[in-house]
Structure formats: C-alpha cells, structure tokens
Amino acid sequence: MKPRVRFAPSPTGYLHIGGARTALFNWLYARHTGGTFVLRIEDTDVARNTQEAVDAILSGLRWLGLNWDEGPLTGAATGPAKGDRGPYFQSQRRENYQRRVEALLSRDLAYEKEGAIWFRMTRQPILIPDLVVGDVLRRLTDREELDPDWVLVRRDGQPVFHFVNVVDDLEMGITHVIRGEDHLSNTAKHIALFRAFGVEPPQYGHIPLILNPEGSKMSKRDRGAALDAYIAQGFLPEAVNNYLCLLGWSPKDNTEKLPLAEVVARFDLPQILRHNAKFDYEKLMWLQGEYCRELPEDRFYEMSVRALAKAGMNTDRFDVRYVKAALDTCKGKIKTFGELPAYGGFYFKDEIAYDPEAAQKSFVPESKPRLEKLRDAFAKLTVFDAATIETTLKATTAGLGVKVGVLVHPTRLAVTGNPNGPSLYHLLEVIGKEKVLERINRALAAFPPAV
RNA sequence: GACCCUAUGGUCUAGCGGUUAGGACACCUCCCUUUCACGGAGGUAGCCCGGGUUCGAGUCCCGGUAGGGUCGCCA
C-alpha cells in the first residue's frame, strides 16, 4: 500500500518556517515513495482561526511548490476540494467527531464530567515506535499519575486537537504521521485513542525542531520565522526549500546545494537527524545568492521587473533592451530581489539622491575640477561603450596624475547616488552618454563651494 | 517537579572501534578588481564531563551535566 501522509496546520497565524519544513518533509516522503500528500486544515480553534492564515498556508505551499494530491483548492472552508476523503477543513467534519464520540461513550471508553467528555486513558506506559527516533517508552508524568484521563470534547462542544487529529488521520487513511518532535510525548494519547477505535495507529516519524539562534523554539518575533517574509523580500522558493531540507535531514555526502528533484530521489526517514537545529539566516542567504546568480535570464528579468514595480518603479516606460542591459549589470550582484530597487533603481529614476555619507567623502572641492575634466572627455566621445569609457577615465586620471579611484568614486556617486553598485564602466554605457553628462553636471552643481 | 528526546568548531553537518576528525556557512589574511559582489589561495576554531567495555573509543554501555520538548476544556 502506498503511503498517505498529510500536512495539517491550524490557521491561527502565519505559515512559519517550522510548519513549512514539516510540509516539505511530508511532501518529500510522498513524492519519494509515490504516495499521497494530503492537506488538511485544522480549524477547530474558532477563536483564533483567521481567513488570512488559511490563505497564507495555501499560497505559501504553492509558492514553495509543495503541491498536494488531496485537500482544499481554495481557502474557503466550504469551497471546492480534490480527493474523496474530504471535507478537508475540520470545521466541516463535525458529524465524524460526533459519531466517534458516541462510539466511545457507548463502550464506556469515554465519559462525561463537568460538561466535557473525557477519554479513559490507560495508565500503562505506551511504546511509541518511531521511524526517526526509534522506540520510545512513554510513562506517565507525575501529574498524569494523579489522573491520566484527558478531554475529548470541551464543555462548549468543541472537540480538542488530539481527538480530531486522530479521527481524521484514521478516516483519511493516513499511514505515516511525520510531524515535529514537540508532538512526541503526546503521541501516547494518540496511540491509545487509535486502539480505543480498534485500529492500529499509523507509523510515526518525529522530526527535530527548528530553533532560533538563541536555542529555543522559533517564534514569530525571530528573524526568518515567517514564510511570507521570504516571499515579500524576493527570495527564491528553491533556495528556501534547499535550506529547509538541510535542517534536520542530510544527504550524508557533504552536498549542500541540491535541487528538489534530487532530494525527492534521496530523501527517506532513516536519514532524518535526531537533534534540533538552529536556524542560520546567513547560510540560507548564501544558498539564496547561489540560486539567484544561476537564474535563467528570463526568470531573472521577470522577477526583477516585478520587484521594481513593487517599489514603484515602472520599467514599461523604458526600452526593453535598455531594461535588459540594465538588469544584466545587476545579475550576480544582488542576492534577493528585494535588494534590487536600492541597488539598480538608479537606472529607472530621474532624480538621483546622493548617499550622504559617500557624498561627504567624494563630493569634495578638489575633485570638482577633476570631474569636470572627465565630463569634458566623455563629451568628446563618439563611441560610448564600456571599453572606451574605461580607457577615457583611466587616461584622464593619468593626465591628472591621480589614482583611478579618485574619479571612479565621484562618478559612481554622481550617476547612481550609491557608493557601490554594478561595474561603473558598464553602467555608464547602459545609461548612455547624454544622461551620464546630465547627471555629472547635476552632481557638479551639488558640490560644496571651494574655500 | 515528573516524563521524553538530544549532545562533533560560533552555526549546519560527515563520521558509524584504529582518520593528520572531512565538508559547508560565518569570521580573519592574501590574490583578483582601485566600488560591491563572484572567484582563487591560505587561516583561526570542534568530538560536554566522569566512569566503564576494549589492545584501542568522537564512535559501544552507565552516570552526570547542559539544551530542547511535553505534562491545557491551545494546536
């Protein structure tokens, strides 16, 4: 029988990186084994559920490319879904829970107390066979020693997580439960419930947690915790996926950068690590840079244009060849697309704002006549390409008896407003002689007067 | 507090009784480039502690310690 796995988030916040990693591991296992990946929305906490959170889960998974074989097609709880084990929103599965409660009640495996319905929990230690951790014998804690029973249905009629989770896994035919290790202790409750229903529990695989750099569970205030931040900052899903694969799983051969398709082929539960991993934003950023640098041109352009538009820069008013040439000088230099407006925005702006700190260093009285000399040399050029520009600039500095940097820095600042950026000679070529002269003149006017 | 999981450089990890303990990120130095990146060459830095087992333990066992998780009418 082919494995059936699921990702069952509760829509109470944003999709966080730990949830995304759990989804990814389930998806990988399904794809590796030819099994089925189910998405189920656990919206039983009516007080904390939000529609935005549901939408964020669906769009986040789609952005990562983690397509589900069964589950909702839209964020609407009563909307369309694919798969024949639905509904896939727990809020739409009330009758199932009711039926299951009654079954337990009728066999005295559950009872009512103080308006809630309680499960008669075994006092015996429960063996949790775990595909990742190994066999775990869970004993009662001292608190449970007093009374191991636990609530199935709250006084307000709402069934609790442990109950609905088990009922749904049972009815949806889930064969492997791959989830965070924070559920390991609670698995004893789940196993006992499955047995109460007369069925053997699914197989479990508890994966290690993702910790923040301080060493505790990632929370929303931690940098890098929210998936939508990556989307907003112009990360690439392949980079995020790749990094997430490396947190808690290892290809065992020192490979760091590997495409998802290869992970699908190599992924399996036994190679999942047993210890928690701290989230390393820098390493994710490194992978992001790697993937960004290798992006095919058309995708790079497409994402660049979108990032610029988001920052209010409309590239449509420029010639396509100009846009492409401009973006070419940025490719391989930026890591995320969120950096692009600040890095290469000068290509698409009319007014250049000078970096104040750099202006103080470069726009000094003694460099004014030098920059004027360069401007005059540029003005005489009939060919304005990178090579000619470089030769001209170097000849000018040589004539002045100064280092190349003496002209490079003020020129860059005058034309781009930034202390650094794409190759100066190439960016000047792209911008074109006319605009370059214009910008140099404008900068010259901004120079402080000589004393 | 009880129960459970875990323990290799700052971080992610390889290792599965005999290795000069390997790789990656980060960091430092140099080269390339008089921007910033990329790239190249070096470098600093590690087996939590204590007992066993063994001719020999990062590797196996036990005990500490430390970190994490769980003990809700949250999920």
- The Cα–Cα gap between A191 and A40 comes to 20
Which segments of A195-345 are extended strands (E)?
A: 203-207, 210-211, 277-278
Span CA (A176) to C1' (B60), Å: 31
End-to-end CA distance of chain A: 86
Output DSSP code: residue A339.
G
Residue type, A108: D
A14-24 burial code (b ≥16 CB/10 A, e <16)? bbbbbbbbbbb
Closest nucleotide to A343 by C1' from CA: B36
Say how far A348 CA is from B2 C1', in Å. Answer: 64
Nucleotides of chain B within 7 Å of a protein C-beta? 1-8, 10-15, 22-26, 34-38, 67-75
The half-sphere exposure of A130 on its side-chain side, counting CA atoms within 13 A, is: 27
Q: Find tokens 């060849």 and name the residue.
A: A321
| Closest nucleotide to A217 by C1' from CA | B68
User: Omega into A87 within 30° of 0, i.e. cis?
Assistant: yes
DSSP A159: B
For residue A367, give the H/E element and its range: helix A367-380
Say which residue the tokens 């790697």 belong to: A290
Q: From the alpha carbon of A155, which nucleotide's C1' atom is closest?
A: B73
Q: What is the pLDDT along chain A (451 residues), one digit of tens a residue?
A: 899 999 999 998 889 999 999 999 999 999 999 999 999 999 988 888 899 999 999 999 999 999 999 999 999 999 999 999 989 999 999 999 999 999 999 999 999 999 999 999 999 999 999 999 999 999 999 999 999 999 999 999 999 999 999 999 999 999 999 999 999 999 999 999 999 999 999 999 999 999 998 888 887 778 888 999 999 999 999 999 999 999 999 999 999 999 999 999 999 998 999 999 999 999 999 999 999 999 999 999 999 999 999 999 999 999 999 999 999 999 999 999 999 999 999 999 988 999 998 888 888 888 899 999 999 999 999 999 999 999 999 999 999 988 899 999 999 999 999 999 999 999 999 999 999 999 999 999 888 766 5
- Whether the Cβ atoms of residue A370 and residue A402 lie closer than 8 Å to each other: yes
CA of A124 to C1' of B57 (A): 38
Strands (E), A265-392: 277-278
For A3-38, give the DSSP string.
-EEEE----SS--BHHHHHHHHHHHHHHHHHT-EEE
Q: Any idea of the CA torsion for A217, A218, A221, A224, to the nearest 10 degrees?
A: 160
Question: Of A18, A15, A19, A14, which Cα lies nearest the Cα of A6?
Answer: A19
Which residue gives the smallest C-alpha to C1' distance to B37? A333
Total Cβ atoms within 10 A of residue A3: 19
d(CA A77, CA A304): 35
Q: What is the pTM of this model?
A: 0.94
Count the neighbouring beta carbons within 10 Å of the beta carbon of residue A115: 10
Alpha-helical regions (H) of A112-160: 142-146
Which residues of A does the annotation mark as catalytic?
Answer: 220
Closest-CA residue to A364 (of A319, A397, A401, A409)? A409
Scan for tokens 């950026």, then name that residue: A421
Q: How far apart are CA A247 and CA A22, in angstroms?
A: 11
Give the separation between CA A207 and CA A7, rounded to whole angstroms. 13
Q: How far is the CA of A181 from the C1' of B65 (A)?
A: 23
Q: Can you give the length of chain A in residues?
A: 451
C-alpha closest to that of A28 among A202, A272, A290: A272
Rounded Cα gap, residues A323 and A328, in angstroms = 8
